[in-house]
Amino acid sequence: MSPIKVVIVDDEQPARSRLRELLQDCLTELPHVVAGEAANGVEGMRIVTDTGADVVLVDIHMPEMSGIEFARHLQVLEHPPAVIFVTAHDQYAVEAFEVNALDYLTKPVRAARLLAALKKAAKGARLARGVLESIDTAPRRHFSVAERGRVTLVPVSEVIYLRAELKYVTLRTRAREHLVEESLTQIEQEFGAVFVRVHRNCLVARRWIRGFERGAESENEVGWSVVLEGLDEKLPVSRRQWAQVKSIAG
């Protein structure tokens, strides 16, 4: 059996180096290599996909993206690594882990507990679907987009609009388009405060709306359309949605 590949994701450098020391201590009992370490979820995702990590040690409490959100994005991968959560003190998360029988370690971490968790992870215990979503109900801060075997994380704040087209949903940022495998309805539920539905097939980010203008033709009638910040494209507002959208137009 080849040694398992471990990746460490924690925003605090001393915490990462402490985990490295402890992993070193476990080396004789469980052969492994530390494939890399990252200070945040975005970097962590890159390292995990680059190295094909088997196990990820993830701190829960990180800036920009919580450890739980990071773990959710990992599930998009074809072969997601096993996740071991690490936390200093987060009673809510710890209770949720207990309920769902997820493996977690508390800081300061003990070598013996780390070893036990690694052994369990090496056997390939996988997360059940929906467990992480139930633990962290706060809206994500990133969308995960699978492209050519890789996963790209797009910050929610950069998304200008999302439009449903046939099978996929197109996610538009100022720079480019991505395809995501989520439904508009799910997204609307999760991010109600961020996006507003302007059309049956379209959600627009409130912060990128510059104004509204008359004259666009949709479904053979002259209606309103959204003028966006940073994009020349204009999006039609359906008559049904106009009543709601109007309120933001002020």
Partner 1 sequence: MQSIRQNHLPDALPDFRNLGVISRILLSVNALALLFALARSREVAEFAARATEIAVSLEPVLLVVLIVLYAGSVLLERLPYLQGLLAVFAVVLAATAALFPLQLQMGGGGDSRGLAWSLVCAAFVTGAVAWYFHLRNRAFSPAISEARLQALQARIRPHFLFNSLNAVLSLIRKDPKRAESALEDLAELFRTVMADNRQLIALREELSLCRQYLNLEQLRLGDRLRVDWRLDPAAEEALVPPMVLQPLVENAVYHGIEPGIAPGLIEVRIERRNDRLWLQLSNPYHEDYQHRQGNRMALANIRERLQLHFDVEASLNTRIADGRYEIGIAMPFRTSL
Query: Closer CB to partner 1, residue 24 or residue 244?
Result: 24
Q: Is residue 61 a contact residue for partner 1 (CB under 8 A)?
A: yes
Instruction: Give the Cα separation of 242 and 249 in Å (integer).
Output: 10
**CA distance linking residue 169 with residue 165, whole number of Å:** 6
Residues 135-164 that bind partner 1 (CB under 8 A): 138, 141
Q: How far is the CB of 61 from partner 1 (least distance, A)?
A: 8
With respect to partner 1, which residue has the nearer C-beta, 23 or 202?
Answer: 23
Question: Any contact of residue 13 with partner 1 (CB under 8 A)?
Answer: yes
Which range binds partner 1 by CB under 8 A, 83-91, 168-176, 196-204, 238-246?
83-91
User: What phi and psi, each to the nearest 5 degrees, are found at residue 55?
Assistant: -135, 140
Question: What is the phi/psi pair of residue 83, to 5°?
Answer: -115, 130
Region for 36 from its dihedrals, namely left if φ exceeds 0, alpha if ψ lies in -120 to 50, beta otherwise: left
Identified binder of partner 1 from the candidate list 64, 158, 188, 190, rule CB under 8 A: 64
Buried b (16+ CB within 10 A) or exposed e, 178-191: bebeeebeebeebb
- Smallest gap from residue 59 Cβ to partner 1 (A): 10
Within residues 84-123, the interface with partner 1 by CB under 8 A covers 88-90, 106-109
Q: Per-residue contact track with partner 1, 169 to 208, x per CB under 8 A?
A: ----------------------------------------
Q: Applying CB under 8 A, does 63 fall inside the site for partner 1?
A: yes
Closest CA relative to residue 135, chosen from 80, 71, 58, 54: 71
Q: Which stretch binds partner 1 (CB under 8 A): 57-65, 129-137, 195-203, 211-219?
A: 57-65
39 versus 48: smaller Cβ distance to partner 1: 39
- The values of phi and psi at residue 94, to 5°, are -60, -45
The span from the CA of 154 to the CA of 157, in Å, is 8
Minimum distance of partner 1 from residue 20's CB (angstroms): 9
Number of residues that bind partner 1 (CB under 8 A): 22
Strands of 125-220 (E only): list them.
142-147, 150-155, 159-165, 168-173, 177-180, 195-199, 202-205, 209-218
| By the rule CB under 8 A, 18 interacts with partner 1 | yes
Binding site for partner 1 (CB under 8 A): 11-15, 17-18, 21, 39-40, 61, 63-64, 88-90, 106-109, 138, 141
